Chain A
Amino acid sequence: MNSEIRKDHRAEEMSFFGSLAQRLLHGDIGSLPVLLGLILIALVFQIANPNFLTPLNLTNLLVQITAVGTIAVGVVLVLLIGEIDLSIGSVSGLTAAIMAVISVKADMPGWMAIVACILSGALIGLIQGWWIAKLHVPSFVVTLAGFLGWQGALLYVLGSTGTVNLSDPLIVGISNSRLPVLAGWIISIFFIAGFTFFQVREQTRRVRIGVPNQTRAILIGRAALISIAILVVVGVMSVDRNPSHTVPIVGVPSAVIFLIGFILIFDYTTQRTKFGRYIYAVGGNAEAARRAGINVDRIKIIVFILSSVMAACGGILAGSRLYAVNQSSGSGDVLLNAIAAAVIGGTSLFGGRGNIWSALLGALVIGSIANGMDLLALASSIRFIVTGGVLLIAVTLDAYTRARRELTGSS
């Protein structure tokens, strides 16, 4: 690579494929493999069982991944600063149990139970983050202790009951409501209009002060792709998906709205705010961040708080969907699926690389595999093996592109 050649600044307006090729060359492949993987998975399952790509199944699939996807948002944040959080499964179980006990056993209003659940998540994150940042104990160990400890706390909170059935309409409604069809369309139109407006405004400003970034063709192409994707997804969820067509089941499920909302909020936070910039800086080179005057400890603690809060939100979504919180809430494959989702989605285990969307993409991959195998009535043994294989491929790609980056970077 001869990067010493001074390029004309017009070259900054690279063609779409030119910039893609450049990024691939530098090992900066982002979400491309996981998108291709998703298409492949969908094709395979659709051929094996034509029920896979039906509105009912696709909507179910999206609802199934909301809890893991939400928890994975927190995992992405933690991975971005180059740490790990193994406690998220237990934390989601414990905080959901706190919500259930306050709502059902103490008979308090649902909103109070939800607030208590999120606050207890924040407190847990604060304790773990403080321990990691201030006492310099590796996050692997602190959160492994949390994994065990909060699991114990879950059993304690539930007591002899074992299972608490949820009945509060607010709590149950979180995962079991549907947006009216019209509202779904209005929200998506507003979103597309807002997105386009801000893109146009930014591009106008760029052109005015002479800082070109991307060609108009790329911008229009991207806006069109995003608009089509939103409209297709909302469209699929707006047709009657009840197979017997007795009572129409239509509208975007509320849980999906929550997941997308979390993704959008945290994508904005990581990409467009100082705090987000510092998350990447800490993950890229913590010493450089410290020398630049960034309070590295503070960033770490906040990220661990957010991780536990997102685990709590995932716990609420899961509990709400099942109408219950029990001793196995947040245990089993919740932790590993959330971490796997973040990594499969393209967030690096080595810190500083990735984005929030990988939580959604990775959760979609894992959810599609689980859902498709259920449709084919395959044993869960095969599901675990396939998910493990996909995870291995994702991490191998990450390690490979990292080596590739170092190679091209030092030339």
Chain B
Amino acid sequence: MDNQESPPVLEMRGISKRFGAVQALSGVDFEVFQGEVVGLVGDNGAGKSTLVKIIAGTYQPDSGRYIFEGEEASVSSPRQAANLGIQTVYQDLALCDNLDVVANLYLGREETQPVIPGLFDSLDEITMEQRALRFIRDLHVNIPTVRSRIATLSGGQRQSVAVARAVMWNSKIVLLDEPTAALGVEQTHQVKDLILRLRNQGLGIVVISHNLADIFDVSDRIIVLRLGMRVATFNTHVSNPGQVVAAITGAVFGPVESDTEIKKERGDEKNEQ
């Protein structure tokens, strides 16, 4: 990665978080660079969701530093994270099925035009539609029209709209929670293409997934959490799934020799889903 000589866009240092008796995260470091895709993996309960929710501003860490673009930031709500340029796409997507693509992209930030200046505004549908159309084309998101209702779209198209909405507002970092769960092969492919295009536009992207094959397809680095600690970091381009699985499960490190072992471990990883 050429960009990694510059400092990371987002840097988390020594993040700890405790829920009652459970130490969800202990002293975790995390960083995302501009124009890279980070795969965040780990077994259930490893602390992935907790870490993402802290980055997204939903949770506050007990201790640790939140550094955005080289400066200490205090993020105590999702709105503050969004203001920094950090957007999260959760599994349930948070789209309104009954509204069309334009309305969903602009939900909560509609463009308006004055009807009676200073008193009363109406929606500026044409401006919204024009920008949405251009934006959707730039991202090569594949939908029938921007006036299609979400209910009429496929799962992959919905995921694409949700991601498009997340990156539409000058985002610098997008967190994707299980973006390909419940998608078919072709639709998974679409979403992965979209992730790579966004990376090439210079966004930092964090992908949480149980599906190592997808992680290997899109990510540049893989960060492994286990029992609330960061146990390993892989350069995706020179690693293999066996090594990552070993780090996830806490098995012995080192290169995995035999194919049968890889198959066995891939089977394990599938069982975790």
A203 to B183, CA, bound (A): 38
Contact B142 A6 (CB under 8 A): yes
A411 to B155, CA, bound (A): 8
Contact A12 B145 (CB under 8 A): yes
| Cβ-Cβ contact count across A and B, 8 Å cutoff | 108
Is B31 interfacial (CB-CB < 8 Å)?
Answer: no
Is B123 interfacial (CB-CB < 8 Å)?
Answer: yes
A335 to B264, CA, bound (A): 65
A274 to B123, CA, bound (A): 6
Chain B residues closer than 8 Å to A389, beta-carbon distance: none
Say whether, besides A277-B110, A284-B98, A408 and B152 are in contact (CB < 8 Å): yes
Is A107 interfacial (CB-CB < 8 Å)?
Answer: no
Q: How many residues of B contact A (CB 8 A)?
A: 40
Give the distance to chain B from A3, nearest Cβ to Cβ, in Å: 6
Say whether, besides A272-B122, A284-B97, A28 and B108 are in contact (CB < 8 Å): no
Give the distance to chain A from B106, nearest Cβ to Cβ, in Å: 9
Task: Return the contact of B149 from the options A9, A28, A273, A277 (Cβ within 8 A).
Answer: A28
Contact A3 B107 (CB under 8 A): no
Is B94 interfacial (CB-CB < 8 Å)?
Answer: yes
Task: Return the contact of B108 from the options A9, A293, A410 (Cβ within 8 A).
Answer: A293
Chain A residues closer than 8 Å to B190, beta-carbon distance: 4
Task: Return the contact of B154 from the options A3, A202, A213 (Cβ within 8 A).
Answer: A3
Contact A26 B149 (CB under 8 A): yes
Is A232 interfacial (CB-CB < 8 Å)?
Answer: no
Contact B152 A3 (CB under 8 A): yes
A206 to B156, CA, bound (A): 29
Contact A409 B123 (CB under 8 A): no
Contact B123 A273 (CB under 8 A): yes
Say whether, besides A4-B186, A202-B126, A205-B126, A353 and B112 are in contact (CB < 8 Å): no
Say whether, besides A3-B157, A408-B152, A277 and B98 are in contact (CB < 8 Å): no
Is A281 interfacial (CB-CB < 8 Å)?
Answer: yes
Chain A residues closer than 8 Å to B67, beta-carbon distance: none
Contact B130 A4 (CB under 8 A): no
Query: Of A4, A7, A273, A289, which is in contact with the most chain B CB atoms at under 10 Å from its CB?
Result: A4
Question: Which A268-296 residues have C-beta < 8 A from chain B?
Answer: 268, 272-274, 277, 280-281, 283-285, 287-289, 291-294
Is B237 interfacial (CB-CB < 8 Å)?
Answer: no
Chain B residues closer than 8 Å to A4, beta-carbon distance: 142, 154, 156, 186-187, 190
Contact with A along B131-144 (1 / 0, CB 8 A): 00100000000111
Chain A residues closer than 8 Å to B152, beta-carbon distance: 3, 26, 28, 405, 408-409
Contact B126 A211 (CB under 8 A): yes
Task: Return the contact of B96 from the options A11, A280, A408, A410 (Cβ within 8 A).
Answer: A280
Task: Return the contact of A274 from the options B78, B112, B154 (Cβ within 8 A).
Answer: B112
Give the distance to chain B from A130, nearest Cβ to Cβ, in Å: 23
Closest residue of chain B to A7 (Cβ to Cβ) is B144
Contact A285 B95 (CB under 8 A): yes
Is A209 interfacial (CB-CB < 8 Å)?
Answer: yes
Closest residue of chain B to A405 (Cβ to Cβ) is B151
Task: Return the contact of B107 from the options A12, A209, A288 (Cβ within 8 A).
Answer: A288
Residues of A within 8 A of B (CB): 3-4, 6-7, 9, 11-12, 26, 28, 202, 205-206, 209-211, 213, 268, 272-274, 277, 280-281, 283-285, 287-289, 291-294, 352-353, 405-406, 408-411
State the 9 A-B residue pairs at the shortest beta-carbon distance, nearest first: A292-B108, A284-B96, A284-B98, A352-B98, A288-B94, A293-B108, A292-B107, A409-B151, A285-B96
Residues of B within 8 A of A (CB): 78-79, 92-99, 103, 107-110, 112, 121-123, 126, 129-130, 133, 142-145, 147, 149-157, 186-187, 190
> Given A4-B142, A274-B112, A410-B154, 6 other A-B contacts at CB below 8 A?
A6-B142, A28-B149, A268-B122, A287-B92, A289-B96, A405-B152
